[in-house]
Structure 1
Amino acid sequence: MFRQDKPAAATQPPKPTRELLAAASKTAHKEKKNIFIHFGASWCGWCHLFEKVIAIPTVKALLDENYVMVELVAMENGPKKSLENAGSNEFMAAMGGAKSGLPFFVFQDASGKKLADSNVMPGNQNMGCPAAPEEIVAFGELLKKTAPRLSEAQRKTILDEFTKAAPKR
């Protein structure tokens, strides 16, 4: 996964968005995959839940098999501003996430052409972390559209983990 270094590298600033996307594009071309870019922030509880689910070994393996994954930190404030990947807020806005909230995600082909984003709920609203049944269904449709090699059973495995992780209502 292309991402900023975690706290162990706190003395170094996070890699710029442009650099991470260029590396992801190169890998995506080589591996014939699409790119799954997700934006999050340290203060965002839904981002932490999303990251927790996509780190589950079975989910991570399926996503890595089908996408080049890119994590970008955006929308930080105050002393946490230094956690941001330079250019992440501007890139998020350019991809349709200026008013979406977090987590926000975008799918691109290897050339950087946008295939889809998480603004798929009624009124073009961001689904954020798929937790409600209708969000999980919508996330499944995004996976179907952007990861054509992902089987129905594999997609169900991913969606089941989001269902299990969803806060109980």
Structure 2
Amino acid sequence: MRKASVGIDRRLVLAGGGAALLIPSAAQAAPANALPPQPDAASRLTEERAAAAREGKHVLISFFASWCGWCTPMNAVFEDNAVRPILERHYRLVHMRVIERSVARRAQQWANADAVYHRFATAGDGLPFLVILDANGSLLSSSRSPAINENIGFPTTPADFTWFDTMFRTGAPDLSTDDLAVVRASFVRHYG
């Protein structure tokens, strides 16, 4: 009597005490509901910089993760109906998922996104972390405040807001006081 096929290639891997490991065939390696491969973060950023150059804008990268408590309100500010048009006039906005902890969430990251984050962030910067680049990829500003040499993340204090104003104006010198007031008001609405 023949054994029924179970649909996987089996290879016996002997190591140390003779343990066996089953390795699925290529056809079986990814479940049917697996996410497609993610684009490369550096390539995606190059595309955004090229678009920014064509449009006369800079690139604003918002690094975030699912486990980051402050990232949700930060994303809400950027998606706010009053704020998004202001940002889009001055920036190509890029939301980049990074340093996820679970396999499922890491599968949602762009390939090499952590490397892009670590190119700009220092140890301990945490999330959310913002970076403003010119169209050539040069760093114009970030959410790391030089006054305290730390990432301020989501602004909550007067000093945080002062740095955010400076950071946004560095990336968009023609950003009006009224536009900054709209962005600040959204931060206040989404705080806590």
Identity, in percent, stands at 28
Offset at residue 91 of structure 1 (A): 1.5
Scaled by the length of structure 2, what TM-score is found?
A: 0.77
Pick which of 106-115 and 14-23 moved more: 14-23
What does 1:133-148 correspond to in 2, within 5 Å? 133-148=158-173
- Cα separation, partners in 2 of 1:147 and 1:130, compared to 1, 3 Å: same
Does 2:114 match 1:89? yes
The answer for the alignment partner of 1:158 in structure 2 is 183
> Structure 1, residues 57-116: CA drift from partner, whole Å, max 9, x if none?
110000011101111110101222212222221111111344200001111000101111
What does 1:7-18 correspond to in 2, within 5 Å? 11-18=35-42
Does 2:82 match 1:69? no
Match of 1:106 among 131, 151, 158: 131
Larger radius of gyration: 2
The answer for the alignment partner of 2:49 in structure 1 is 25
Match of 1:127 among 148, 152, 175: 152
Alpha-carbon distance in 2 for matches of 1:13, 1:65: 31
Q: Which sections of structure 2, spanning at least 5 residues, go unmatched?
A: 1-32
Alpha-carbon distance in 2 for matches of 1:14, 1:69: 18
Q: Which runs of 4+ in 1 moved over 3 A?
A: none
Alpha-carbon distance in 2 for matches of 1:126, 1:118: 5
Conservation of the 8 A alpha-carbon contact between 1:34 and 1:66:
yes
Alpha-carbon distance in 1 for matches of 2:45, 2:85: 21
Aligned length: 159
Alpha-carbon distance in 2 for matches of 1:10, 1:117: 35
Pick which of 10-19 and 80-89 moved more: 10-19
Conservation of the 8 A alpha-carbon contact between 1:97 and 1:104:
no
Offset at residue 117 of structure 1 (A): 0.9
Does 2:49 match 1:41? no
Pick which of 140-149 and 46-55 moved more: 140-149
Q: Which has the higher contact order (CA 8 A, sep 6+)?
A: 1
The secondary structure found in structure 1 opposite 2:43 is helix
Conservation of the 8 A alpha-carbon contact between 2:35 and 2:107:
no
The secondary structure found in structure 2 opposite 1:42 is coil
Conservation of the 8 A alpha-carbon contact between 1:92 and 1:98:
no
- Cα separation, partners in 2 of 1:150 and 1:127, compared to 1, 3 Å: same
